[in-house]
Amino acid sequence: MEVAIFSSTRYERQYLDAANHAGQHRLQYFDVALEMDSVGLAAGYRAVCVFVNDCADAQVLEALHKGGTRLLALRCTGFNNVDLEAAARLGMKVVRVVTYSPHSVAEHAVALLLAINRKVHRAYNRTRDANFSLDGLTGFDLCGKTVAVVGTGKIGCVFAKIMLGFGCEVIGYDPYPSKEFEALGLRYVKPGEIGEKADIISLHCPLTPATHHIINAKTLERAKPGAILINTSRGGLVDTEAVIDALKSGQLGGLGIDVYEQEADLFFRDLSSEIITDDVFQRLVSFPNVIVTGHQAYLTREALTTICETTLASITAFERGEPLENEVKAT
């Protein structure tokens, strides 16, 4: 099948080409993101493959449909950027990668937490500059601290297990409790208890209307002073301006994020020679106790291999008229 792949990167193409080893699909790579300005590139492609920051709203889906596209294949887990109702109305199928490597994202969340707590980013810069002073680098033992996992699905459970290994007390919040989480001997709490008890809060729930700005001025006010917040899920879970206020007042002791609400204008590109006009982002990266990574939590060899193989397997199944195991539908 002819497949138009948007937001494609050099490092990802080798995995897609490897997954297409039998050459059953003709993959056309486009560097640009899918949006109204670029949707014309997809004309004539029955399958269009997109990533986290491509826009698949009703207008774009209608334009794709007009051009002959009948399958939208997301090479990611989250699908908050797709208007599923519009897709259903148009009879366009949508598939995603339900599971690739929950370890990749959970381990990255741990990496952010360790780096923030032990100030690894600051130590790295200091020692390169022959500054071996330890002033300002004091962290705390993770052992014995309380970690709240918000969203105890695949990634949240792996993260919880790792934190148990550090000797932390792990509590969870999820409107749909998971047996796997409970089987670890862990307990669910009400949101209020997270504020009261958690030294560390890590977000692992999807972005939906119900979870938009789940971290906001009110929740931050109720948080334990000095708590660390980790977000590897979606930027829209966090009200960034409220987080900046909490960092300024010291209410939040540190922030590690792999996702940012306005990341579509920034991430996945080299903007190092440009002036960043997003003042909120610039304020965020000016804090010594903030680390931002550019949506790379999934970026391991194992995850890329599974993402690409699953995506192409879904496209093959669609071409053959077989059931789509990874289909996502409007609820």
By CB under 6 A, residue 230 contacts ligand NAD: no
Selected catalytic residue, list 263, 301, 302, 327: 263
Query: What is the rounded distance in angstroms from the CA atom of residue 100 to the CA atom of residue 106?
Result: 12
Site size for ligand NAD, by CB under 6 A?
A: 30
**Given candidates 174, 180, 245, 278, which one binds ligand NAD under the rule CB under 6 A?**
174
47: its two tokens: 């399958």
By CB under 6 A, residue 234 contacts ligand NAD: yes
Selected catalytic residue, list 25, 96, 108, 234: 234
- For the question of residue 263 being annotated catalytic, the response is yes
By CB under 6 A, residue 105 contacts ligand NAD: yes
- For the question of residue 187 being annotated catalytic, the response is no
Query: What is the rounded distance in angstroms from the CA atom of residue 310 to the CA atom of residue 101?
Result: 12
Instruction: With residue 117 as reference, give the H or E element that holds it.
Output: helix 102-118
Query: What is the rounded distance in angstroms from the CA atom of residue 90 to the CA atom of residue 59?
Result: 11
Query: What is the rounded distance in angstroms from the CA atom of residue 290 to the CA atom of residue 253?
Result: 9
Interface segment toward ligand NAD; rule CB under 6 A; list 117-125, 272-280, 291-299, 310-318: 291-299
Query: What is the rounded distance in angstroms from the CA atom of residue 67 to the CA atom of residue 262?
Result: 29
Q: Minimum distance from CB of 132 to ligand NAD (Å)?
A: 34
Which 8-state DSSP code applies to residue 183? H
Is residue 146 within 8 A of residue 171, CB to CB? The reply is yes
- Cβ neighbour number for residue 191 with a 10 Å cutoff: 13
Letters for 127-166 (x = contact with ligand NAD by CB under 6 A, - = none) are -----------------------xxxxxxx----------
Is residue 45 within 8 A of residue 65, CB to CB? The reply is no
**Given candidates 11, 135, 176, 323, which one binds ligand NAD under the rule CB under 6 A?**
176
Query: What is the rounded distance in angstroms from the CA atom of residue 281 to the CA atom of residue 301?
Result: 29
**Given candidates 93, 96, 204, 224, which one binds ligand NAD under the rule CB under 6 A?**
204
**Given candidates 298, 304, 324, 328, which one binds ligand NAD under the rule CB under 6 A?**
298
Show contacts with ligand NAD in window 55-94 (CB under 6 A): 77-78
Which 8-state DSSP code applies to residue 267? T
Summarize as ranges the residues that interact with ligand NAD (CB under 6 A).
77-78, 102, 105, 150-156, 173-176, 178, 204-207, 210-211, 232-234, 258-259, 295, 297-298
Q: Which residues are catalytic?
A: 234, 263, 295
